[in-house]
Chains A and B, each alone.
Chain A
Amino acid sequence: MEFRQALEKTLEKLMEEDQKICILDADLSKPNGTAPLYQKFPDRCFDVGIQEANMIGVAAGLAAYGFKPIALSFAPFATRRVCDQIAVSVSYAKQNVKIIGTDPGITAELNGGTHMSFEDIAVLRSIPDMTIYDAVDANQLAQALPQIMAYEKCVYIRMPRKLSYSVFDDQYQFKLFKADVITKGNDITLLASGIMVYEALKAVQILQEANISVELISVNTIKPLDEETILQSVKKTNHVVTCENHNVIGGLYSAVCELLSSKYPVKVDAIGIKDRFGQVGKYDDLLKEYQLTKDDICQAVKNNLNK
């Protein structure tokens, strides 16, 4: 199932159960998959048109009245474009607004550099009280949304629209703010977020054949970090590589380094965007261009282990 299908199905259920939930779009309800909700809940869906700043403000106003708004746009326009609106009208004002940024990083594909957010996490991570969730697959997203809606503070949800791979099976149970240990291992801790969990999982299988035992952890919330799970693993392996679909400045790598530098200093290597802008390209081409492939991950792991 595509991420956006899971989004629409889950939101439909949540909106049926909770009359306070509202949807706000900025002329992207069709691409983002919320358009069918306008038929089912015409009173609680608002397409403000192409005005993201106003969308965030209107959401804050609805929240101040006790409603539970969810504002959506492509990731760069839901974050860097409206950073001050989120900082002041939402976070500083303590308003319960949920923000969904779709097609983060390379998943923007053919929309190219203007639409390719490698900085959305960095922009929002320094705002106090902000939670940042990078969705790993559709199954996880469907489980995460009800928990996020039950949490009465601002959460930024980062999700691709069209990808449909699976990382987690039917037995999987998501717990907000908890990281998931996907494979147990002793040699190195691989910390991945969002779509990079899927790539990292492929790398783990290759590394196993080379007798490298990898503990792969899906870091679901980049903020707050599940410090306990991460520290427990790193204290065991003493080696760390992070993998993210985001600039290595300000994202998962930064967050992990901030944690480990004070609590358990070890060398940390990064797979991620090395301070570059985006560009047009198909998913697989962009993985290669920004050195995010399973082979790049394997090499980074070996380098970190001096193998």
Chain B
Amino acid sequence: MDMQKIAKEIRGLTLRCVASVGQGHLGGSMSIVDVLTVLYYKQMNVDVKNPKMIARDRLVLSKGHAGPALYATLCHKGYISLEELLTLNKFKTNLPSHCDMNKTPGIDMTTGSLGQGISCAVGMAIASKLAKDQAYIYCIIGDGESQEGQVWEASMYASQKQLDNFILFLDNNNMQIDNYTSKINSLINPKLKWESFGFFVQSIDGNNIEEIDQAITKAKQNKGCPSMIILNTIKGKGVSFIEEAGVSNHSMPITTEQLAKALEELK
């Protein structure tokens, strides 16, 4: 399986999804496409024919505004049709800008109010241990999101409960709406922070498929504590005009012409 190729296709679908409504959270969606590719095409135990399968692995996209990237991944995987993918934020759509578990097949938790998803994921990891179902619970938080105190509450408790079935990703793209994260309220050293919270921490190139795959495999082998994989990413990764927009790419417009050009660039 050529995951590089799949990641490019998912990037293309993400762009088409956002372009269908003309504007959206492009930056933080594009930065996590590689981890979503590895999760859904290699590491996660999920069944597209049975999205609610008992004992499936689950993903909580705590940075719920990156929904378009997850919708694109679910579309590529076959959970939702291409036609539906292009209904983002349309009135009565099943694909709202922020993830909704009651609307979209394959979405495991409703998220969007930052800091909350990670707690829900911790609850699921506890539930999986209670159910003894051997599932892994994955959660993606943002670096900006980590300014929320609840992220640290949840991290403390995941460690306290020794949740080695809990694998947390930090999309460390150093940007948020108002400016660079380091200029607003910096995490300074996320590796040290999560290590001091009792996590097994790996810091990798978050846009490198192989590194992500290896890190997840290593995290699964880790026992007795939760894992943090710091994904050092580029916000807007894969398309030059989005990357170049920098901080402005958090939510930005995309025209039909820009889409065509971007899809060409992804070939």
Residues of chain A whose beta carbon lies under 8 Å from any beta carbon of chain B: 22, 43-44, 46, 48-49, 51, 53-54, 56-67, 69, 84-85, 88-89, 92-94
Partner of B150, one of A57, A69, A92, A94: A57
Cβ–Cβ contact A58 & B113, under 8 A = no
Cα A57 to Cα B149 in complex, Å, equals 13
- In the A-B complex, list the 6 residue pairs whose CB atoms are closest, starting with the nearest: A61-B123, A57-B119, A65-B127, A54-B153, A93-B110, A58-B123
Interface of A is mostly: helix
Given A67-B130, A88-B112, A93-B101, A53:B150 Cβ within 8 A: yes
Cα A118 to Cα B124 in complex, Å, equals 33
Q: In the complex, what residue of chain B is closest to A93 when comparing beta carbons?
A: B110
Chain B contacts of A61 at CB under 8 A? 60, 109, 119-127
Cβ–Cβ contact A93 & B113, under 8 A = no
Cβ–Cβ contact A58 & B122, under 8 A = yes
Chain A contacts of B115 at CB under 8 A? 53
Interface size class on chain B is 20 to 34
Cβ–Cβ contact A48 & B157, under 8 A = yes
Chain A contacts of B125 at CB under 8 A? 61
Cα A64 to Cα B126 in complex, Å, equals 11
Cβ–Cβ contact A46 & B122, under 8 A = no
Q: In the complex, what residue of chain A is closest to B119 when comparing beta carbons?
A: A57
Cβ–Cβ contact A60 & B101, under 8 A = no
Cα A225 to Cα B118 in complex, Å, equals 35
Chain B contacts of A66 at CB under 8 A? 127, 131
Chain B contacts of A67 at CB under 8 A? 127, 130
The minimal Cβ–Cβ distance linking A9 to chain B, given in whole angstroms, is 24
Cα A56 to Cα B116 in complex, Å, equals 9
Cβ–Cβ contact A85 & B116, under 8 A = yes
Given A43-B130, A53-B149, A84-B113, A60:B120 Cβ within 8 A: yes
The minimal Cβ–Cβ distance linking A72 to chain B, given in whole angstroms, is 15
Partner of B123, one of A51, A60, A92: A60
The minimal Cβ–Cβ distance linking B29 to chain A, given in whole angstroms, is 20
The minimal Cβ–Cβ distance linking B65 to chain A, given in whole angstroms, is 13
Q: In the complex, what residue of chain A is closest to B133 when comparing beta carbons?
A: A65
The minimal Cβ–Cβ distance linking B81 to chain A, given in whole angstroms, is 24
B128 at the A interface (CB under 8 A): yes
Q: Can you list 26 A-B contacts with CB-CB less than 8 angstroms, sorted by A residue number?
A: A46-B126, A51-B150, A51-B156, A54-B122, A57-B117, A57-B122, A58-B120, A58-B126, A58-B157, A59-B123, A60-B119, A60-B120, A60-B123, A61-B127, A62-B124, A62-B126, A64-B101, A65-B123, A65-B128, A67-B127, A85-B116, A85-B119, A88-B116, A89-B120, A93-B101, A93-B109
Cβ–Cβ contact A64 & B124, under 8 A = yes
Cβ–Cβ contact B157 & A49, under 8 A = yes
Query: Other than the known A53-B115, A54-B119, A85-B113, what 19 A-B pairs have Cβ atoms closer than 8 Å?
Result: A44-B130, A49-B160, A51-B153, A53-B119, A53-B149, A53-B150, A54-B156, A57-B116, A57-B119, A57-B120, A58-B123, A60-B119, A60-B120, A61-B122, A61-B126, A64-B123, A65-B128, A88-B110, A93-B120
B34 at the A interface (CB under 8 A): no
Cα A60 to Cα B127 in complex, Å, equals 11
Q: In the complex, what residue of chain A is closest to B118 when comparing beta carbons?
A: A57
Cα A60 to Cα B116 in complex, Å, equals 10
Cα A53 to Cα B154 in complex, Å, equals 9
Chain A contacts of B160 at CB under 8 A? 49
Partner of B102, one of A44, A59, A93: A93
Q: In the complex, what residue of chain A is closest to B115 when comparing beta carbons?
A: A53
Cα A230 to Cα B117 in complex, Å, equals 41
Q: In the complex, what residue of chain A is closest to B98 when comparing beta carbons?
A: A88
Partner of B156, one of A49, A62, A63, A88: A49
Cβ–Cβ contact B119 & A58, under 8 A = yes
B108 at the A interface (CB under 8 A): yes
Cα A224 to Cα B99 in complex, Å, equals 29
Cα A46 to Cα B110 in complex, Å, equals 23
Chain B contacts of A62 at CB under 8 A? 123-124, 126-127
Cβ–Cβ contact B113 & A54, under 8 A = no
Cα A21 to Cα B102 in complex, Å, equals 23
Chain A contacts of B113 at CB under 8 A? 84-85, 88-89
Cα A84 to Cα B112 in complex, Å, equals 11
Chain A contacts of B119 at CB under 8 A? 53-54, 56-58, 60-61, 85, 89
Q: In the complex, what residue of chain A is closest to B108 when comparing beta carbons?
A: A64
